[in-house]
Each structure stands twice: as structure tokens, then as C-alpha cells.
Structure 1
Amino acid sequence: MKSESENGSPESLIMSDDLELAEVKAIRKKLSEMHNDIKKVMEFTSRLRLEAAIERSRQEYSNVLLNHLFEDIDSGLEQNMVKKCPEKQKCTSAFTALLQQNAGLITKNRVDDKSISDNQKKLEELRCEAPYNKCEKCFSEVSSLLIKQINLMRSMRIYTNNQEQKPNISALKTSVVMSEILEPVSNPQRLEILRAVAFEMKSFSAFSELTGLRGGNLLFHLQKLMESGLILQQHERGDYMITEKGFKILQGLNEIYSSLQNYPLQNSSKQRPEKNDLMERKEKTEMTI
């Protein structure tokens, strides 16, 4: 028979098991760390690929727009400048250079106010040197083309002038903002309804399925949105569609929401879970008692 020392004492067996368990845990931890590192690398690589794809798309889109603007310059000057003028060729060359320089700004991620102002000043300098009264017709066309380019940059959100960057907040009328904008969309069901009709018409039954509201409850919110001019009904018992006012409000909300994504809610971890109206009324009653 083998001695107890040869078979291993109970204490040594327990220590061996504990050692093996610790090694297994260490291996699992190391594998988990490796998995997380690989995941981060993959996410970073995917993000780089996405950003590169977006940048390529933006450049391609900008180049297409730039070609369109160049064609617009050529056709606009050819059609609307004074036909018979001894300075036409010289002026056409100067106008084309100025407008193409301004149009080239569209390929940038951001257009500063100085670049636009400099081009506008150059146009005014050329206007001051104009030798004939009939020159005003040509300058009117160039101004129109320049404004068209600037408005396109605004619509692409790559240019905002200093005046637009500092809006007159004091001009806001609190009562109008509350009644015409905030109050109509302050209810989650109404906001969901407005979002649903942003790009297509919806029926009463579709809204009912979307919001879970029935009959008079749903009709109340629809009437609220119609009275505020955010949606309208095609005809009696017809489908509902968004109005221009409703779409602009929805766009504004979307822009605000997007701009705040980099600003997490303060003390979000300490916020209470949402409670329905019945629970809140019950709590208030208990507190009063």
C-alpha cells in the first residue's frame, strides 16, 4: 500500500485545485482582455473606413457641384451680359475668374466669412471701374450668380456669416414660441405622429397602431397638431400630411438633437426611472396625506 504522502494529503490536493482554478481565471481574464483589444481595433478600423468613405463621397459630391457651378457661370454670363460691347471679352474673363474662385470654396469643409467678403469686395472694385452705364446689366448678372453660390454654401451648412452666428435672442417672443412651437410637440405621441408624416402621408389607423391610442384620445392629439398648423388632413376621413411649418419645426428639433449628442446629460446615472402619470399622482397623494 502507498503511504498518505505518496497519494497526496487532502491539504495538498486542495491547494493544487485552487492553483489550477486561479490559472484558469487568469487565462480567461487574459483572453477577455485580448478580445476587447481586438474589438477596439476592429471598431477603430471600421470607423476609419467609414470616415474615408464619407470624405470620398463628399469630395465627389463637391466636384459634381463645382462642375455645375462652372457651367452655370459660363451659360449665365453668355446669355445675360450685354451682347455688343468692346469690353465684353475682358469683363467676361474677369467675371469668370472671380466667380470660379468663389465657387471653388464649395470643396472646403468650412468657408470663413473673410473669403466671401473678399470676393464681394473684388466685385465692388470692378463695379467702380465700370466705364459705361450699360455695365450695370452685366454686374447684376454677376451679383446674381455670386449670391446663388453663397446660398448653396449655406444650404450645405459650410458657410455661415458673422451676423447669422450671433442671432438676436431678444427677438424671441416667449408666448409665440410656447404656443406655436413647443406646446404642440411637447407630447411624445404628438411628436411621434409628426415624425411619422415627415416624408409620407399616414391614415388614422396607422397612427393608432403607431401610438397605441384609440378613438377620441388619438383624435385629440391630431386636432391639436392641425390647430397648430403642423399637419393637415387631405379631406374628411382622408390621410394626414405634414405642413411646411411642421416640417421646419421637425428639422429644427433634429438639428438641436444632433448638436447636443456630444453633451451627455448631467447626473444621468442619478436620474430616476420614468414614471407614468398614475404613479406620479399616487405619490403626490401619499405625500399630501
Structure 2
Amino acid sequence: MYENCETEIIDIKVKLDEIHKDMRTFIEDSNREHLESLLAFVRDDYSNILEKHLINDIKAGLSKNMVRKCERLDECRSVFTDMLQKNAALIKEPSVDSDIFDKKRIDIKNLRKGMPYDKCDICFSEAADLFEKQISLMQSMRIYETKKDKKQDISQIPSQSVIDDVLDPLCHPKRFEILKAVSSQSMSFSFLSKLTGLRGGNLLFHLQKLSDSGMIIQQHERGDYMITSKGFKVMQSISEMYSALAPEEMIS
């Protein structure tokens, strides 16, 4: 009698667990559908406003941060404005293929190669920053989603690749400090030396680690260091993870 009762209780618990899982799945799906409908509403009703915001951001950024004493100023500003405005117009689209942005990044790099001055780095850095800000907004609106943005089964994550490509390059405090610094703007070797307190070969070792992992690049020989798309995504992910896990008083 007691054994039968115990078996029935176990069966009830199993069924309750199944019901709970079904309810949780239903709630998650409902929330996801609700979020998608809200985002679709925002895209449809506010796409013109968002595009105008991005265009104003372009004008303000280029006017403030491009090198003023340059005979190519007007020409380059026109090229950057045209490129960024066309990119901003994509916010009206329901979705944008990641290949489009990858091609635009390559176009920016190729355009830089044809410029004659070291000071051109400043203007191209500003244009690249504005470009990435536009992409970040589109990602938040679910207009643009890379394959890496989609959730992956934890069991399928390649352990050694994650360690070699992400965890090992960031495990040293100085390398993490460097990646944080170049996340907002390009940095020279001398500036990073002052920032980290490292000199010569010691600093070069850590920069090479980050470069080999594809998180930073040197704009040209002896040029400034800047974060790559991969490095920026890694830092964004770390920021989101830290914000979710850290006590409020630590992130306020």
C-alpha cells in the first residue's frame, strides 16, 4: 500500500514537472512573440524618426571629429556622409543580411588604403565608429542578426576553440585593459604603453596575442591599434554578462 502511494506521488511529480516545462515554454514563446510584435511596431511607425536620428548623428560626428585642416576634408566628408546615410536607410528594412555589412566593412578598409596621410586614420576611425553604432542599433531592433547572434546549443560549443580564440587572449588583466581602451577609439603604441605601464617587447607581446586572436588590428605599419568587429562583440557580450551577474552596486 505504501509503495503504491509512493509510486503515485512520483508519477504526479513527473507530470507536474512536465506541465511546468510546458507552461514555461508557452510563456517564453508568448514573450518572444510579444517582443517581436513590439519591435515590428517600432520599425513600422518610427523608422523615419530613427533614420533621421542616425543622419543627425552622422552630421554631428563628422563635423566634430574629422581633421579640419586638410585639403581633402570636403571630399572625404561627402564620401563618408553618402556611405553612412545609405547604411542608415537600412533601418527601414525588416531584415538585413550580415554579408552586406561585412562587405561595407571591407569597403571602408579598402578606401583607407587609398588615402595618403597618417592623419586620415582619425577621420576613418570616426566613420567606422559611426558605422558600428548604426549596426548596434539595428541589432537591438532585430533588423540585423548574425549567425553568431543566434543561440547555440551549449553542448556543441567547441571548447578548445573558445579557450584559444576568446578566453586565453583575455585572461591577462593588461590585455583586457587594452581591449577596453581600444573599444571606444584607436590607440597608439605609446598611449597604450602609458595606460598599461608596459614597455617595448612586453607590450608588444600582449598586443600580438590580441592581434593573433583577431580582436584588434594595427591600422598600418607603426599605426594605431583598433578593435575589430570580433573584439567589439566579445566586449559587448562580456558587458552584458557582467551586468546580468554583478550586484547592482558594482555596476551603478
Query: Normalized against structure 1, the TM-score is what?
Result: 0.40
Higher RCO (C-alpha under 8 Å, 6+ residues apart): 2
For normalisation by structure 2, the TM-score amounts to: 0.45
